């Protein structure tokens, strides 16, 4: 019999048919008693009319119950721990939602003139200044719509800088441990990408950097801490080498949660960085957006930032839009995703002068996981790790299992699997990031679940290669599905 800590938790589930299978001819999902509609006719030629819509015919209660039941199949951060490495799935405080949904913000038209939206501009300006202070950088744009969009903005700024200086540089260096968006961003911006191999400890190899650092190099994209959760301790030397060639240092801020309030980006020699507001400042993550990818820069790039930027005239007590001298223009309409900015500002203000504790608690939680699991899983690097910990598949392989089997088995314990098979430089990677919003009790339940799974693997208690077993939709043939996609159901 399993103990309480590792007991499998099966949530309520329904055997739910497709809505088309609930359909019965003649049913309606609406009731309209207004006879005035009888006088309305729309005369359209028959050749333009759709006759093959094949829409389901169900009542309103059936529609509501169908989608409500389906919603119980969803897994989210409000349901349980979401230990995705690198993605930083932290809890979103409800005070953020309450303030962002204030009627003043919801009812503002995005095209109103500055004089009509002074309270909103004050809020945006305050967030700009706080983020500049926290990062110790000179300029900022809140316009980018998400993290990858912030990356693209940063690389466009590097491109504009070199074009302004008439530098003939067309190469961006990217470590092999980088996020997949990094090389994609560089290519999209028109640069050539050269990959830099990490050393055996998982850090950027300075000697490899020197070999690749030619006059054609425009910059380096680096994530710090990197995707192994390790701080790149040679970051200052890296930036010095780049600047000697008039190349720029771009820092991917995906892991900024580990150093927020603790580290000066300027002192590290960073020229430009993006910040994922969902990863560090608790705005909602995923679901297709909207997101926010603020970009901070040093003095070199300040006048190239996208416009508009909110500035403040203390003499007239007036907030206004400003366009930098060599601005690259707009990256999107408006000022950015206002709702996300409001949520981020609330989170920053709620921590106040103790904002550095975000990094401390996140690092503590990750190291609790590392300590709890170090006897059953092999840590990818022996160096100290920060906000996340990465294990390889060595121990699982010895037991005849793969990383995917562990990930799928966790679902039966009520946990979403961590990130697997990334970073690519770690064989069978298991990448776990708990964030600062999880309690030690939750961490313990999660690590106990992993220990219990591995114990079953060792003792061959059951075949875990078929997991998950308690979900309505169980193990699927993912390769088969990818090769045989059914896309024509709605046109039958």
The pLDDT value recorded for residue 492 is: 47
pLDDT at 330: 95
Q: What is the DSSP letter of 362?
A: H
291: which 2 tokens?
């997101």
Is 291:283 a contact under the CB 8 Å cutoff? yes
Task: State the distance between the two ends of the chain, measured CA to CA, in whole angstroms.
Answer: 50
* Averaged pLDDT, groups of 10, the chain, 492 residues long: 49 74 88 67 80 86 91 86 93 95 90 93 97 98 95 98 97 93 95 95 95 98 96 97 98 96 97 96 81 96 97 97 97 91 97 98 98 97 96 97 97 94 95 96 97 96 88 82 73 48
pLDDT at 1: 38
Kindly tell me the number of DSSP H helices and DSSP E strands found in the chain: 17, 13
All domains in the chain, ordered by first residue: 17-36+44-72 (no CATH), 108-354 (3.40.640.10), 356-481 (3.90.1150.10)
Is the entire prediction scored with pTM above 0.75? yes
DSSP string, 168-191: ---EEEEETTS-THHHHHHHHTT-
Q: Enumerate long-range contacts of 320-329, CB under 8 Å, 24 or more apart.
A: 320/114, 320/121, 321/114, 324/139, 326/160, 326/164, 327/303, 328/153, 328/156, 328/157, 328/160, 328/304
């Amino acid at each position: 019999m399993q103990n309480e800590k590792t007991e499998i938790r099966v949530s309520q589930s329904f055997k739910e048919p497709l809505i088309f299978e609930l359909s019965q001819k003649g049913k309606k999902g609406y009731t309209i008693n207004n006879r005035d509609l009888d006088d309305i006719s729309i005369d359209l030629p028959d050749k333009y009319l759709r006759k093959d819509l094949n829409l389901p015919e169900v009542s309103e209660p059936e529609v509501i119950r169908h989608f409500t039941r389906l919603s119980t199949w969803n897994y989210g951060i409000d349901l349980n721990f979401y230990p995705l490495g690198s993605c930083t799935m932290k809890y979103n405080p409800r005070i953020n939602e309450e303030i962002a949904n204030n009627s003043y913000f919801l009812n503002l038209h995005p095209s109103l003139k500055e004089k009509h939206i002074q309270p909103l501009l004050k809020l945006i300006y305050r967030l700009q200044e706080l983020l500049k202070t926290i990062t110790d950088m000179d300029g900022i744009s809140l316009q980018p719509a998400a993290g990858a969009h912030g990356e693209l903005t940063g690389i466009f700024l590097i491109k504009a800088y070199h074009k302004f200086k008439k530098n003939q540089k067309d190469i961006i260096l990217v470590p092999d441990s980088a996020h997949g968006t990094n090389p994609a961003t560089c290519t999209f911006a028109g640069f050539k990408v050269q990959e830099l191999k990490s050393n055996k400890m998982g850090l950027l190899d300075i000697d490899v950097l020197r070999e690749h650092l030619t006059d054609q190099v425009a910059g380096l994209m680096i994530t710090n801490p990197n995707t192994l959760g390790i701080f790149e301790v040679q970051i200052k030397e890296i930036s010095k080498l780049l600047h000697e060639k008039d190349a720029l240092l771009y820092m991917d801020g995906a892991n900024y949660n580990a150093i927020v309030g603790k580290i000066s980006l300027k002192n590290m020699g960073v020229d430009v960085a993006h910040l994922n507001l969902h990863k560090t400042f608790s705005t909602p993550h995923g679901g297709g957006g909207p997101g926010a990818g603020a970009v901070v820069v040093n003095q070199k790039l300040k006048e190239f930032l996208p416009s508009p930027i909110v500035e403040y005239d203390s003499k007239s007590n007036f907030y206004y839009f400003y366009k930098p001298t060599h601005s690259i223009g707009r990256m999107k309409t408006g000022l950015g995703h206002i709702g996300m900015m409001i949520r981020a500002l609330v989170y920053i203000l709620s921590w106040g002068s103790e904002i550095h504790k975000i990094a401390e608690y996140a690092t503590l939680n990750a190291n609790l996981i590392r300590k709890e699991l170090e006897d059953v899983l092999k840590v990818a690097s022996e160096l100290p790790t920060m906000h996340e910990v990465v294990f390889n598949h060595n121990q699982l392989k010895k037991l005849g299992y793969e990383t995917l089997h562990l990930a799928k088995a966790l679902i039966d314990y009520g946990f979403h699997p961590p990130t697997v098979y990334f970073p690519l430089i770690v064989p069978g990677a298991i990448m776990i990031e708990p964030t600062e919003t999880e309690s030690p009790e939750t961490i313990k339940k999660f690590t106990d679940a992993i220990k219990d799974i591995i114990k079953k693997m060792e003792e061959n208690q059951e075949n875990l290669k078929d997991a998950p077993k308690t979900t309505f939709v169980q193990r699927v043939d993912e390769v088969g599905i990818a090769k045989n996609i059914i896309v024509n159901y709605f046109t039958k």
